[in-house]
Amino acid sequence: MTILLTGAAGFIGSHLTRQLLAAGHVVIGLDNFDDQYDPALKRQAIRPFIRLANYRLVTGDIRDQALLAEVLSQYRCDTVVHLAARTGVRASVHEPALCIDVNVTGTLALLEAMRVSNVRRLVLASSSSVYGNSSFVPFREDDEANGPLSPYAMSKRSAELLAHTYHHLYGFDVACLRFFTVYGPRQRPEMAISKFTARLLDGKPITLYGDGSTTRNYTYVQDTVTGIIQAIHHLGGFDLLNIGGMASISLSELVHLIEQAVGQRAIINWQPAQPGDAQSTCADLRQAQARIGYYPSVSIKEGIGRFINWYKKQALNQPIV
Protein backbone atom coordinates (compact mmCIF):
# COMPACT_ATOMS: atom_id res chain seq x y z
CA MET A 1 0.00 0.00 0.00
CA THR A 2 1.25 3.50 -0.84
CA ILE A 3 0.00 6.05 1.65
CA LEU A 4 0.10 9.84 1.49
CA LEU A 5 0.44 10.95 5.10
CA THR A 6 -0.17 14.64 5.75
CA GLY A 7 1.30 16.11 8.92
CA ALA A 8 3.89 13.35 8.69
CA ALA A 9 6.52 15.06 10.84
CA GLY A 10 4.15 15.83 13.69
CA PHE A 11 3.66 14.01 16.97
CA ILE A 12 1.17 11.37 15.81
CA GLY A 13 2.46 11.37 12.23
CA SER A 14 6.00 10.40 13.16
CA HIS A 15 4.81 7.50 15.34
CA LEU A 16 2.43 6.33 12.61
CA THR A 17 5.18 6.53 9.98
CA ARG A 18 7.37 4.15 11.96
CA GLN A 19 4.58 1.57 12.22
CA LEU A 20 3.55 1.81 8.58
CA LEU A 21 7.13 1.47 7.33
CA ALA A 22 7.73 -1.49 9.63
CA ALA A 23 4.67 -3.16 8.13
CA GLY A 24 6.10 -2.78 4.62
CA HIS A 25 3.96 0.09 3.34
CA VAL A 26 5.32 2.96 1.27
CA VAL A 27 4.85 6.30 3.05
CA ILE A 28 4.85 9.63 1.23
CA GLY A 29 5.15 12.10 4.09
CA LEU A 30 3.90 15.65 3.53
CA ASP A 31 4.61 18.42 6.04
CA ASN A 32 5.05 22.19 5.85
CA PHE A 33 7.15 22.39 9.05
CA ASP A 34 5.20 25.38 10.32
CA ASP A 35 6.15 27.25 13.46
CA GLN A 36 3.26 26.24 15.70
CA TYR A 37 6.04 24.52 17.61
CA ASP A 38 9.76 24.21 16.91
CA PRO A 39 10.22 22.77 13.38
CA ALA A 40 13.56 21.31 14.51
CA LEU A 41 11.66 18.87 16.74
CA LYS A 42 9.65 17.70 13.72
CA ARG A 43 12.76 17.22 11.59
CA GLN A 44 14.37 15.28 14.39
CA ALA A 45 11.30 13.02 14.64
CA ILE A 46 11.50 11.93 11.00
CA ARG A 47 15.28 11.76 10.69
CA PRO A 48 15.36 7.94 11.07
CA PHE A 49 13.15 7.53 7.99
CA ILE A 50 14.79 9.85 5.47
CA ARG A 51 17.14 7.29 3.87
CA LEU A 52 14.70 4.38 3.86
CA ALA A 53 13.68 3.04 0.45
CA ASN A 54 9.96 3.04 1.20
CA TYR A 55 9.83 6.63 2.51
CA ARG A 56 9.66 9.95 0.70
CA LEU A 57 9.39 13.38 2.32
CA VAL A 58 7.59 16.19 0.51
CA THR A 59 7.74 19.67 1.99
CA GLY A 60 4.50 21.46 1.22
CA ASP A 61 1.17 22.82 2.44
CA ILE A 62 -2.15 21.00 2.35
CA ARG A 63 -3.76 24.15 0.95
CA ASP A 64 -1.69 23.69 -2.24
CA GLN A 65 -4.13 21.58 -4.26
CA ALA A 66 -1.90 21.37 -7.34
CA LEU A 67 1.00 20.02 -5.28
CA LEU A 68 -1.24 17.46 -3.60
CA ALA A 69 -2.58 16.22 -6.93
CA GLU A 70 0.94 15.98 -8.32
CA VAL A 71 2.15 13.97 -5.33
CA LEU A 72 -0.82 11.60 -5.40
CA SER A 73 -0.27 10.90 -9.09
CA GLN A 74 3.53 10.81 -9.11
CA TYR A 75 3.77 8.26 -6.31
CA ARG A 76 0.59 6.38 -7.28
CA CYS A 77 -0.88 6.68 -3.81
CA ASP A 78 -3.94 4.56 -3.09
CA THR A 79 -4.73 5.79 0.44
CA VAL A 80 -4.51 9.11 2.29
CA VAL A 81 -4.16 9.59 6.04
CA HIS A 82 -4.87 13.24 6.78
CA LEU A 83 -3.34 14.36 10.07
CA ALA A 84 -2.15 17.85 9.09
CA ALA A 85 -3.98 20.60 10.97
CA ARG A 86 -3.66 23.82 12.87
CA THR A 87 -4.13 22.34 16.31
CA GLY A 88 -5.29 23.51 19.72
CA VAL A 89 -8.55 24.76 21.16
CA ARG A 90 -7.06 27.81 22.87
CA ALA A 91 -4.81 28.69 19.94
CA SER A 92 -7.84 28.68 17.64
CA VAL A 93 -9.63 31.21 19.84
CA HIS A 94 -6.74 33.63 19.24
CA GLU A 95 -6.23 32.81 15.55
CA PRO A 96 -9.59 31.59 14.21
CA ALA A 97 -8.99 32.58 10.57
CA LEU A 98 -5.74 30.62 10.36
CA CYS A 99 -7.30 27.58 12.04
CA ILE A 100 -10.24 27.52 9.65
CA ASP A 101 -8.09 28.20 6.60
CA VAL A 102 -5.76 25.28 7.31
CA ASN A 103 -8.28 22.82 8.70
CA VAL A 104 -11.25 23.48 6.42
CA THR A 105 -9.82 25.00 3.23
CA GLY A 106 -6.86 22.63 3.47
CA THR A 107 -9.11 19.60 3.81
CA LEU A 108 -11.17 20.75 0.83
CA ALA A 109 -8.00 21.14 -1.24
CA LEU A 110 -6.96 17.60 -0.29
CA LEU A 111 -10.36 16.14 -1.16
CA GLU A 112 -10.33 17.88 -4.55
CA ALA A 113 -6.80 16.66 -5.24
CA MET A 114 -7.93 13.13 -4.38
CA ARG A 115 -10.94 13.45 -6.68
CA VAL A 116 -8.95 14.55 -9.73
CA SER A 117 -6.28 11.92 -9.00
CA ASN A 118 -8.85 9.15 -8.58
CA VAL A 119 -7.78 8.31 -5.02
CA ARG A 120 -10.82 7.31 -3.00
CA ARG A 121 -9.54 6.00 0.36
CA LEU A 122 -9.22 8.47 3.26
CA VAL A 123 -8.59 8.29 7.00
CA LEU A 124 -9.25 11.74 8.46
CA ALA A 125 -8.07 12.89 11.88
CA SER A 126 -10.90 14.56 13.76
CA SER A 127 -11.21 15.42 17.44
CA SER A 128 -13.27 14.77 20.55
CA SER A 129 -13.71 18.55 20.72
CA VAL A 130 -16.52 18.24 18.14
CA TYR A 131 -18.80 17.02 20.95
CA GLY A 132 -18.57 20.31 22.88
CA ASN A 133 -20.32 20.04 26.24
CA SER A 134 -22.59 17.24 25.09
CA SER A 135 -25.08 16.02 27.66
CA PHE A 136 -24.78 12.49 26.28
CA VAL A 137 -21.95 10.84 28.20
CA PRO A 138 -19.99 8.82 27.20
CA PHE A 139 -19.74 10.54 23.82
CA ARG A 140 -21.26 8.50 21.02
CA GLU A 141 -20.72 8.97 17.30
CA ASP A 142 -24.45 9.40 16.66
CA ASP A 143 -24.45 12.62 18.71
CA GLU A 144 -25.35 15.54 16.41
CA ALA A 145 -22.14 17.35 17.48
CA ASN A 146 -23.64 20.70 16.54
CA GLY A 147 -22.46 22.77 19.53
CA PRO A 148 -18.72 23.44 18.99
CA LEU A 149 -17.09 25.57 21.69
CA SER A 150 -14.09 26.79 19.68
CA PRO A 151 -13.04 27.49 16.09
CA TYR A 152 -10.86 24.36 16.29
CA ALA A 153 -13.85 22.18 17.17
CA MET A 154 -15.90 23.78 14.41
CA SER A 155 -13.10 23.25 11.89
CA LYS A 156 -12.85 19.56 12.70
CA ARG A 157 -16.61 19.04 12.45
CA SER A 158 -16.58 20.92 9.14
CA ALA A 159 -13.82 18.65 7.84
CA GLU A 160 -15.94 15.61 8.74
CA LEU A 161 -18.91 17.05 6.84
CA LEU A 162 -16.77 17.83 3.80
CA ALA A 163 -15.48 14.25 3.81
CA HIS A 164 -19.03 12.95 3.99
CA THR A 165 -19.98 15.09 1.00
CA TYR A 166 -17.17 13.53 -1.05
CA HIS A 167 -18.23 10.08 0.11
CA HIS A 168 -21.77 10.81 -1.08
CA LEU A 169 -20.87 12.49 -4.39
CA TYR A 170 -17.79 10.56 -5.47
CA GLY A 171 -17.84 7.27 -3.58
CA PHE A 172 -14.93 7.98 -1.26
CA ASP A 173 -14.33 5.39 1.47
CA VAL A 174 -13.79 7.49 4.60
CA ALA A 175 -13.08 6.92 8.27
CA CYS A 176 -13.22 10.07 10.42
CA LEU A 177 -11.39 9.27 13.65
CA ARG A 178 -12.25 11.41 16.65
CA PHE A 179 -9.06 11.44 18.71
CA PHE A 180 -9.27 11.93 22.46
CA THR A 181 -6.29 13.91 23.91
CA VAL A 182 -3.32 11.97 22.57
CA TYR A 183 -0.11 11.92 24.63
CA GLY A 184 3.20 10.09 24.74
CA PRO A 185 6.82 10.51 23.61
CA ARG A 186 7.32 13.56 21.36
CA GLN A 187 3.99 15.06 22.39
CA ARG A 188 3.76 18.71 21.33
CA PRO A 189 5.52 20.90 23.92
CA GLU A 190 2.49 23.11 24.59
CA MET A 191 0.19 20.23 25.51
CA ALA A 192 -0.68 19.67 29.15
CA ILE A 193 1.24 16.50 30.02
CA SER A 194 4.40 17.63 28.25
CA LYS A 195 4.25 21.15 29.67
CA PHE A 196 3.42 20.02 33.23
CA THR A 197 6.29 17.52 33.20
CA ALA A 198 8.79 20.06 31.91
CA ARG A 199 7.89 22.71 34.44
CA LEU A 200 7.66 20.31 37.36
CA LEU A 201 11.12 18.88 36.66
CA ASP A 202 12.45 22.43 36.32
CA GLY A 203 10.95 23.43 39.69
CA LYS A 204 8.60 25.96 38.10
CA PRO A 205 4.90 26.45 38.85
CA ILE A 206 2.32 24.88 36.56
CA THR A 207 -0.78 26.81 35.58
CA LEU A 208 -4.14 25.06 35.91
CA TYR A 209 -7.38 26.55 34.61
CA GLY A 210 -10.66 26.10 36.47
CA ASP A 211 -10.92 24.15 39.71
CA GLY A 212 -9.25 20.89 38.64
CA SER A 213 -12.53 19.06 38.10
CA THR A 214 -12.49 19.03 34.29
CA THR A 215 -12.05 15.51 32.97
CA ARG A 216 -10.36 14.20 29.85
CA ASN A 217 -10.05 10.85 28.15
CA TYR A 218 -6.29 10.58 27.55
CA THR A 219 -5.09 8.23 24.80
CA TYR A 220 -1.54 6.89 24.63
CA VAL A 221 -0.09 7.54 21.18
CA GLN A 222 0.53 3.87 20.43
CA ASP A 223 -3.19 3.16 20.93
CA THR A 224 -4.03 6.04 18.58
CA VAL A 225 -1.65 4.69 15.94
CA THR A 226 -3.21 1.24 16.29
CA GLY A 227 -6.63 2.81 15.71
CA ILE A 228 -5.44 4.55 12.56
CA ILE A 229 -3.90 1.39 11.14
CA GLN A 230 -7.02 -0.62 11.94
CA ALA A 231 -9.10 2.03 10.17
CA ILE A 232 -6.87 1.88 7.08
CA HIS A 233 -7.43 -1.86 6.81
CA HIS A 234 -11.19 -1.63 7.34
CA LEU A 235 -12.00 1.30 5.05
CA GLY A 236 -15.40 0.96 3.40
CA GLY A 237 -18.28 3.42 3.19
CA PHE A 238 -18.31 6.26 5.72
CA ASP A 239 -17.46 5.90 9.39
CA LEU A 240 -17.27 8.23 12.37
CA LEU A 241 -15.27 6.52 15.10
CA ASN A 242 -14.07 7.47 18.56
CA ILE A 243 -10.40 6.60 19.16
CA GLY A 244 -9.95 7.08 22.90
CA GLY A 245 -8.22 5.75 25.97
CA MET A 246 -9.35 3.31 28.61
CA ALA A 247 -10.96 5.84 30.98
CA SER A 248 -11.35 9.55 31.77
CA ILE A 249 -9.67 11.27 34.73
CA SER A 250 -9.83 14.75 36.22
CA LEU A 251 -7.17 17.42 35.79
CA SER A 252 -6.30 17.16 39.48
CA GLU A 253 -5.86 13.38 39.17
CA LEU A 254 -3.65 13.84 36.12
CA VAL A 255 -1.34 16.21 37.98
CA HIS A 256 -1.17 13.75 40.87
CA LEU A 257 -0.11 10.94 38.51
CA ILE A 258 2.63 13.13 37.06
CA GLU A 259 3.78 14.08 40.56
CA GLN A 260 3.99 10.40 41.50
CA ALA A 261 5.91 9.45 38.35
CA VAL A 262 8.35 12.35 38.71
CA GLY A 263 8.66 12.02 42.49
CA GLN A 264 8.09 15.70 43.11
CA ARG A 265 5.20 17.90 44.24
CA ALA A 266 3.89 20.53 41.85
CA ILE A 267 3.58 24.23 42.61
CA ILE A 268 0.20 25.16 41.16
CA ASN A 269 -0.89 28.54 39.84
CA TRP A 270 -4.69 28.42 39.65
CA GLN A 271 -6.40 30.53 36.98
CA PRO A 272 -10.03 30.93 35.80
CA ALA A 273 -11.41 28.49 33.26
CA GLN A 274 -10.54 29.29 29.64
CA PRO A 275 -13.06 30.06 26.89
CA GLY A 276 -13.53 27.14 24.50
CA ASP A 277 -12.52 24.41 26.97
CA ALA A 278 -15.02 21.57 27.40
CA GLN A 279 -15.93 20.42 30.90
CA SER A 280 -15.27 16.78 30.08
CA THR A 281 -14.50 14.25 27.37
CA CYS A 282 -15.46 10.60 27.62
CA ALA A 283 -15.31 8.14 24.72
CA ASP A 284 -17.84 5.43 23.97
CA LEU A 285 -15.64 2.95 22.10
CA ARG A 286 -18.23 0.32 21.22
CA GLN A 287 -18.60 1.41 17.61
CA ALA A 288 -14.83 1.47 17.03
CA GLN A 289 -14.58 -1.95 18.64
CA ALA A 290 -17.31 -3.40 16.44
CA ARG A 291 -16.27 -1.67 13.20
CA ILE A 292 -12.45 -1.89 13.24
CA GLY A 293 -11.59 -3.98 16.31
CA TYR A 294 -10.13 -1.07 18.28
CA TYR A 295 -9.28 -1.74 21.93
CA PRO A 296 -6.90 0.59 23.81
CA SER A 297 -4.28 -1.26 25.82
CA VAL A 298 -2.35 1.39 27.78
CA SER A 299 -3.82 2.82 31.00
CA ILE A 300 -3.22 6.45 31.89
CA LYS A 301 -1.00 5.47 34.82
CA GLU A 302 1.16 3.22 32.64
CA GLY A 303 1.24 5.78 29.84
CA ILE A 304 2.33 8.61 32.15
CA GLY A 305 5.11 6.40 33.47
CA ARG A 306 6.29 5.64 29.94
CA PHE A 307 6.21 9.31 29.00
CA ILE A 308 8.16 10.41 32.07
CA ASN A 309 10.80 7.73 31.47
CA TRP A 310 11.17 8.88 27.86
CA TYR A 311 11.30 12.51 28.89
CA LYS A 312 14.03 11.95 31.43
CA LYS A 313 16.14 9.99 28.95
CA GLN A 314 15.60 12.11 25.84
CA ALA A 315 14.15 15.53 26.49
CA LEU A 316 16.09 16.91 29.40
CA ASN A 317 18.81 17.95 26.95
CA GLN A 318 16.28 20.05 25.03
CA PRO A 319 14.98 23.50 26.03
CA ILE A 320 12.23 23.34 28.65
CA VAL A 321 9.04 25.01 27.43
pLDDT exceeds cutoff 90 at 20: yes
DSSP class of 52? -
How many Cα atoms occupy the beta-carbon half-sphere of 312 within 13 Å?
12
Q: Is 129:152 a contact under the CB 8 Å cutoff?
A: yes
Task: Note the pTM of the prediction, 2 decimals.
Answer: 0.94
Mean pLDDT, residues 95-104: 97
pLDDT at 313: 86
CATH numbers and ranges of domains, the chain: 2-315 (3.40.50.720)
DSSP 189-231: TTSHHHHHHHHHHTT--EEEESSS--EEE-EEHHHHHHHHHHH
Q: What percent of the chain has pLDDT over 70?
A: 98
pLDDT value, residue 162: 98
Q: Note if 152 is an active site residue.
A: yes
pLDDT (0 to 100) of residue 315: 57
Q: Which of 131, 152, 183, 294 is catalytic?
A: 152
**Which residue in 300, 90, 266 sits closest to 184, CA to CA?**
300
In 3D space, the residue among 163, 134, 138 whose CA is nearest the CA of residue 146 turns out to be: 134
Mind listing the pLDDT tens digit for each residue in 290-305? Answer: 999 999 999 999 999 9
For CA atoms 200, 296, 232, 99, give the dihedral sign: negative
